[in-house]
Amino acid sequence: MRIRTDGDYAYRRDAIERAADFYDCNKTKAVVSACDDVPKFVQAARQVLKRDDLTLEQRREIAETLSTRAMSFEVTTDIAVDTD
């Protein structure tokens, strides 16, 4: 597999190199490691944001902190009113 890093895709080289530095490995292993880790991190983030022991404001702050350029988390609330 080849990943374009020329022209408009130059930012990819920086991202891959940051991943290699983070994982302390070569670029190929860094890409594979990131691909393995991201779905697990997203699932963990979703679980944290569903916790009922956090206030709405805390969940929104966590969502903002965990959001990135490629992935954003949102916290919404549903309010239902029943009238009899």
Whether the per-residue pLDDT at 84 is higher than 80: the answer is no
Q: How confident is the model at residue 72 (pLDDT cuts 50, 70, 90)?
A: very high
Q: How confident is the model at residue 78 (pLDDT cuts 50, 70, 90)?
A: confident
CA dihedral 10, 66, 71, 69 (to 10 degrees): -30
CA–CA gap between residue 24 and residue 5 (Å, rounded): 21
pLDDT single digits (tens) 28-49: 999 999 999 999 999 999 999 9
Which pTM was predicted? 0.74
Whether the per-residue pLDDT at 76 is higher than 90: the answer is no
Distance of CA 42 to the CA centre of its chain: 6
